[in-house]
Amino acid sequence: MAMDVEAEIRDLKRRVGEMEGSFGFLTEQVRSVHKDLLAFQAQTERRFDGVEGRLDGVEGRLGGVEGRLDRVERGLQGLRDDLPGIVGDAMRSVLREVRAKPPKSH
């Protein structure tokens, strides 16, 4: 069997050319996807920065609410502690007034 070297070289060149074309196409596709991914990453980072800023604001407001609730809780605790004395003082005052008034005649 005689080999046609020139035909074999042409066939190899054709196949290499096809592979180079495919490689070039894939390279362009990868570049395009990479560019799109970089744009998506930048957009996502901007959005996350915006969300993070809003969450910081919410945390600040919640801190203020927490402080006010702490003050209310302390006030209620103080009222709970003081209420027996307040009621006792009021009752003693009323009883003193009742004892000091002469009975009414009918």
> pLDDT of 21-73, one tens digit each?
999 999 999 999 999 999 999 999 999 999 999 999 999 999 999 999 999 99
37 by Cβ neighbours in 10 Å (0-12 / 13-18 / 19+) ranks as exposed
The ranges assigned to domains in the chain are: 46-98
Cα separation values, 93 from 98, 99, 102, Å: 9, 10, 16
pTM, two decimal places: 0.49
Q: Phi/psi of residue 3, each to 5°? A: -100, 135
CA distance 39 to 30: 14
pLDDT at 1 over 60: no
